[in-house]
Structure 1
Amino acid sequence: MKSILKYSFILLFIASGCMVNAQIPKSEKQYLIEFFKGTIGEQWQNTWNLKADPSSWYGVEINDGHVVGLKLYRNNLSGKIPSGIAVLKNLKSLNLSFNTLAGNLPKDIFELGTLKSLRLEMNKLSGALPQDYSKMKNLEDLSLFNNLFQGAIPSGIGELENLKALNLSSNYLEGRLPKSIEKLANLERLELFGNKLTGPIEVDLGKLINLRELILSYNEFEGDLPSSMATLSNLEFVQLQGNDFRSLNSLLRMQSQNLTIFDCDDEFLNMKFGNHEAIKPCLVDTKLEDVKRN
């Protein structure tokens, strides 16, 4: 009988510990409630019962008593993202893609130093991108494509030293590609399709030694393509068409043996490098990769 009571006590102790572990600080819970209200949570596809514990709320991931994930993609969110999100100081993944969120981004999103993945693509977000990214040393994935962002690409993006994927395609960004991009030594995917970017590319692309996908198509780039691009041996997917490049001759010395898709405005180079049976739209990651990439 004593052993049964002892075993029951242990189970009760473990269960109590789990309940404590699931609870989150009041400040984090309050922000989630404000987020719910600001994005018209009553109309979400998978809504929250605000009277229930946050650990039961759809898309909320909790670990060690803190919110570490907020994943509400394809959930019929609208309205605006409320400011104050920096209170979720343990957040590692924020995925609000494929909704109809509007308005400017709260600046304090970019104060989340633990964030590894920020995916806000396929919304109606607008305004200029923030200038300061110095606190986001852990960010690996920044995906903002298919929104209404305007202005220049901030040079501060070069501070994202661990960034592997940068997708700003299908916005209204203009001006030159900031030279600071060349500092992103871990970058594997650079996608800028369908903006209003102009001028010569003065970025030393050869420094992006891990680059696998380079998508610059349908902008207003001009001048000669940087010759260092030819040294990128890991390139698999390249699209350059729809620009005003004066010369692409440097690509004749392309060293990559991994190219599967290549498209530019030079038919000779297309025949030399392209795999036209496999050509697909430039927004390569508009297909849902949420399970794989989160």
Structure 2
Amino acid sequence: MKSIFTLLFSILVLFTAKAEDSETILSQEKKALIDLFESTNGVNWSNTWDFTSPIEQWNGVEVVDKHVVSINLFNNNLNGTIPESIGDLKYLTHLNLAFNSITGVLPKDIVELKNLKVLKLEMNRIKGAIPSGIGSLNDLEELSLFNNFLSGPIPEGLGNIKGLKILNLSSNNLKGTIPISIGNLSKLEILGLFENSLEGAIPQEMGKLTKLKELVLANNQLGGDIPTEFGQLASLKILQIQNNRFKSFKGLQSIDTRQFLVFDTDDKSLQPYKEFDLERVRTRMADTKFEDDDNNE
């Protein structure tokens, strides 16, 4: 009888300890959320948080199994910086702070969000470099940072994110060359590097991106020849490479222009198979229209 009591008592203690651990973890995550609130002037958000309510009821916050897994504060009048404690939200899979007025630099601990699948920070005022450790976010499928003030090079480590489908770094102040490692992103469907200060030749390794549907490299300082490997991009529907410094466009001659909806180059001898209205059919890469896919799900 005593042994049974001891066993039941042990189970109760273990259960209580796990419950306390869970509450402790959620408490740490709650603090990270409050840090975000305070550092981005949360009292003036369009939809603010009521701290007297459970976290599950806070606008844009999703909790699963007592962990914060998603934050969607798209177009919510955030003003300020992203706190370093954002890295404490270890279970976060979606972070959408797009179309706000966020300033400062990307916190270095953002690369601690190992479960992150979607990171959307476009249309803000974020400056500084993209963290070199961004390539450690192995689960990332979408990285959208367009229309900020980011500077420095595109990290070589981005090529390590093998499941990446959308990479949009357009309309920033990025410099240097396009990393050869981009060619490793075999699942990439959308690549936007529009309107930066990128230079050098386009890596021939990008010809391996056979699932690529949109490629926008316009308004940079890219040079050299267009890789002949572009002829392998059979899924490509949108190609914009105008306003660069290319020496030759011969690499495009093997492309079947019938596949395109948008086809923009500086070589006027290259024409799409059929006419289309460029004002009507526009790529999401070069267009910063006020919309967000997450809000349409």
Asked if structure 1 preserves the Cα contact closer than 8 Å seen for 2:257 and 2:273, the reply is no
Closer/same/farther in 2, CA of residues 149 and 134 from structure 1, 3 Å limit: closer
Q: Which residue of 1 aligns with 2:245?
A: 244
Closer/same/farther in 2, CA of residues 75 and 158 from structure 1, 3 Å limit: same
Deviation of 1:226 after TM superposition, in Å, equals 0.9
Map 1:174-253 → 2, pairs under 5 A: 174-253=175-254
Q: Does 1:283 align with 2:280?
A: no
Asked if structure 1 preserves the Cα contact closer than 8 Å seen for 2:123 and 2:148, the reply is yes
Q: CA separation in 2, counterparts of 1:48 and 1:279?
A: 39
Q: CA separation in 1, counterparts of 2:51 and 2:185?
A: 41
Closer/same/farther in 2, CA of residues 234 and 280 from structure 1, 3 Å limit: same
Q: Which residue of 2 aligns with 1:125?
A: 126
**What letter matches 2:152 in structure 1?**
G
Asked if structure 2 preserves the Cα contact closer than 8 Å seen for 1:181 and 1:203, the reply is no
Asked if structure 1 preserves the Cα contact closer than 8 Å seen for 2:80 and 2:103, the reply is yes
Which structure 1 segments of 5+ residues have no match? 1-19
SS of the equivalent of 1:37 reads helix
SS of the equivalent of 1:270 reads coil
Deviation of 1:271 after TM superposition, in Å, equals 4.4
Asked if structure 1 preserves the Cα contact closer than 8 Å seen for 2:35 and 2:85, the reply is no
Asked if structure 1 preserves the Cα contact closer than 8 Å seen for 2:130 and 2:150, the reply is yes
Map 1:18-97 → 2, pairs under 5 A: 25-97=26-98
Asked if structure 2 preserves the Cα contact closer than 8 Å seen for 1:200 and 1:221, the reply is yes
Q: Which residue of 2 aligns with 1:160?
A: 161
Asked if structure 1 preserves the Cα contact closer than 8 Å seen for 2:136 and 2:157, the reply is no
- Give the TM-score of the pair, scaled to structure 2: 0.87
Asked if structure 1 preserves the Cα contact closer than 8 Å seen for 2:224 and 2:247, the reply is yes
RMSD, aligned α-carbons? 2.0
Asked if structure 1 preserves the Cα contact closer than 8 Å seen for 2:141 and 2:165, the reply is yes
Q: CA separation in 1, counterparts of 2:124 and 2:295?
A: 21
Closer/same/farther in 2, CA of residues 273 and 235 from structure 1, 3 Å limit: farther
Of stretches 197-206 and 176-185 in structure 1, the one that deviates more from structure 2 is: 197-206
Q: CA separation in 1, counterparts of 2:140 and 2:167?
A: 10
Deviation of 1:160 after TM superposition, in Å, equals 1.0
Closer/same/farther in 2, CA of residues 211 and 274 from structure 1, 3 Å limit: farther
Q: Which residue of 2 aligns with 1:258?
A: 259
Q: CA separation in 2, counterparts of 1:121 and 1:219?
A: 19
Between the aligned residues of both structures, percent identity stands at: 42
SS of the equivalent of 1:31 reads helix
Asked if structure 2 preserves the Cα contact closer than 8 Å seen for 1:231 and 1:256, the reply is no
